[in-house]
Amino acid sequence: MANSEPTSGQLANSGQLANSSPKIRACHFDSYEYNEEYDTCIPSLDDVAYVIGTFFGDLPAPDSTGGYVSLPLHFPSDLLSGVGFALEVGLGHYVGDNLVDYGKDVGGLLGYGLQGLGYPISAVADTAAVFLEGAGKIVGAVADGVGTAVDTVVDNVVTPVLGAGAEAVEAVVEQVAESVEKVADAVGSTAKKYFCKIFC
């Protein structure tokens, strides 16, 4: 073997793998970013404050009728995602993780008990948060689907009907204009004929 680097098996046998390899963090949703301070994934503004961010100008306003119809439907999505994140940070990080850290510092039977209490609290908080945030994602997807359906109806039904109505009004206006011209020509030729009889 020409490579002089140790293999992962050699590192594992020497006890260096656990200490030398960096932790790989993955968030449960694409729009989330890992935060070292909280040791958790933090949602983007779109995930927890879509409605409020849109009202205050932090996010762009919808660009279609369906976007405006679906905007209030995003409020439950924001609420679920926000509560999930708050549960994950508040209960999981500040209560569960701190109990574990304190238990490690205390040591002994009391320390093990604190760690034994902290780990399940963190696990339950993280699990509940993922379910709440996932429910928020589902509600957000349904709201987006409603917006898309409204846009489809507007684009395929309302706009053509209004377009046909505008074309029909334009055709009527053209016919009225032609009729007025014909009446004016008839009145003009009749008036000319009588004018010439009198004055010509």
Running along the chain, 200 residues long, what does each successive block of 10 average in pLDDT?
A: 48 47 70 81 79 79 85 89 90 90 90 92 91 91 89 81 70 71 66 62
Task: Answer yes or no: are the C-beta atoms of 25 and 37 closer than 8 Å.
Answer: no
Q: Distance between CA 184 and CA 60 in Å, rounded?
A: 55
Torsion of CA 186, 187, 189, 194, to 10 degrees: 140
Name every residue whose Cβ is closer than 8 Å to that of residue 185 and which is 6 or more positions away in sequence: none
Using the Cα atoms of residue 75, residue 76, residue 79 and residue 85 in order, give the sign of their dihedral: negative
**Single pTM value for the model:** 0.64
DSSP code of residue 36: T
pLDDT at 116: 93
pLDDT at 14: 47
pLDDT at 49: 78
Q: Distance between CA 163 and CA 152 in Å, rounded?
A: 16
Give CB contacts under 8 A, 24+ apart, made by 28-33.
28/130, 28/133, 28/134, 29/133, 29/137
